Every structure is written in C-alpha cells, then in structure tokens.
Structure 1
Amino acid sequence: MTFLMRLATAEDLTFARELTCQNMLRYYIQHDLLWQDDAFDLAWSGRDNWLISRGDTAVGFFSLSRDLRALYIRELQIAKAFQGQGAGSWAIDQVIDIAKTEKRPAVRLTVFENNPARNLYERKGLRVQGEDACFLRMQLDISTALG
C-alpha cells in the first residue's frame, strides 16, 4: 500500500505534537534543551503542514516554510511503528517535487547531529552545509536533484 498526503488541519495538531515529542524528546534531553508544547503549537500555526497516511492510518507528518532561497523542512516525523518502511523517503520525494514545482532553488533542513535520520537525508542528496551547536544544516540544490 502506498502513502498519501493531505494538508493537515487544526484537528491534526495534537497527533503532530505528541508524535514529535515522542520522537525528539531524547534528543532534547541529550542536548539539554527544553521541549515546550506551546512553542510547537505556535510554530505549527505558521507552517504548511502535511499529514502522511497509509490507508486510513496517520503514519506521520511534515511541516514546511519558504523564503526566496529555499523550501525548508521544519519537521518530518514518522511514527516508530512505520519507520523503516519508506514513509520518510517518500515524504522527502514529495517535498522535492513541491520545491521543483515552486521553482525553489533548494530544500533545506536542520537535524540533530546524532539523529540517524541524517543517513536518510544524505541518501536523498542533502549535504551538510554547516553546524550550529548540536544541529547540522543540510541542503539539496534542486538543480542537482535526481528525477
């Protein structure tokens, strides 16, 4: 069965917040950062949010923002039960397609330096452009994107 995406609604906020907290809290703790539900909710309200599903089951989401330089993946979260089944890779492909359609020059994201998702991002062509504290800044130039 393939994955589907739809624009997220206000009703999806709780799912997205809880999923992000479940997936990311260990990194926040390791790097002595404070998780704040209110900060997540505020960021959610200002982003382009997409729910990823398989059939009738929500398996994750991604959040995007934009400027003239790039399309930014602000969140990409997949539920643990569905990790390793291609949902993250599929989602990145969707984001690359959006960037191409919008004629954005690049896709960018920030990832915790010790998050194994970095491997997925590198397989998809994103390259480390810099570091900030415990984060890596990664980018894919759309002109070099495959497909």
Structure 2
Amino acid sequence: MGFEWRPATAGDLGFARDLTRSTMLRYYIQHDLLWLDEAFDVAWAGRENQMIVRDDALVGFVSLSRDARAVYIRELHVLEAFRGQGAGSWAIDQVFALACGERSPALRLTVFATNPAKVLYERKGLRVVGEDECFLRMQRDVPGQRR
C-alpha cells in the first residue's frame, strides 16, 4: 500500500519534535548550533504540518510555509525504519503538486550542506540556488509561473 498524508493534530507535536531532534541533532552538533525544543514548538505552531502515513502507521511528517515567492518545505523527516522506501520522494512530489495547484512560482527548501538528503532533492528537480554558512538553499521552479 502507498503513502498518504493527513493534517497534523496537537497530539503529533511530540512525535514530530522527537523525530526532528533525532534526525538533525548530529548536524546541529557538527555546526555548533543550539537545538531548542521550544523553538521547534513555536515554528510548528506557525506552519502547515502534514503527517506521512502508511497502513495507519506514522512514517514521518512534512512542515510547510508559503509566501508570494514559493511553497517552502521547512521540515521533512522520515523514521529511520522507513527510509529508502520512497516516503521522502513521495512527500516531495505531493508538495510540488500542491505548489503547482496553488500556482506558486517555486518549491524551496534549505538543507545542511553535509546532509545526504540533498541527493534526493536534486533527483526530485531541486537545484542549489544559494549557500549560507552550513546550509544550501534549493529550489524547483513551477513551470509557467512568474518568478
């Protein structure tokens, strides 16, 4: 069976925070950045959050924001047990379809430069459009939309 997503509920915050911390803490340490649970919680509250589900099991989540320039993937995390099974690729496809449907000019995200997920993002059509210290800014333009 394939993946689905559902809107996050208040009860999903702990799962999302713990998954993000476990996935990203090594990058925070590597780049001497401070992880704060409270900062994650504040960001979560201001975003559209979708839970990735397969066969009623939580697989991961994606967190989105928007402005006039793009739909932004702010977080995309998949449980380690489900990595390599297409969940991340599927989620990116869903968000790109959303950006197209909303007639947004682009899909954007930021990734640690040392994160191997950048290979997935490149495979899904995102290209590096800028760098900030330890991050890469990536973008995939929506065909036919003004930038």
Relative to the length of structure 1, the TM-score reads 0.97
2:35 is aligned to: 35
Gaps of 5+ in 1: none
2-structure distance, mates of 1:84, 1:22: 17
2-structure distance, mates of 1:80, 1:27: 16
2:3 is aligned to: 3
1:115 aligned onto 2:115: yes
1:104 is aligned to: 104
1:18 aligned onto 2:18: yes
Q: Which amino acid aligns with 1:87?
A: A
- Aligned residue pairs total 144
1:71 is aligned to: 71
2-structure distance, mates of 1:128, 1:59: 27
Gaps of 5+ in 2: none
Deviation at 1:56, TM superposition (A): 1.4
Over aligned residues, Cα RMSD in angstroms? 0.7
Runs of 4+ with >4 A deviation: none
1-structure distance, mates of 2:59, 2:32: 28
Deviations 1:28-52 (A, max 9, x none): 0000001000000000000000000
Q: Percent identity over the alignment?
A: 67
Q: Which amino acid aligns with 2:25?
A: L
Deviation at 1:122, TM superposition (A): 0.1
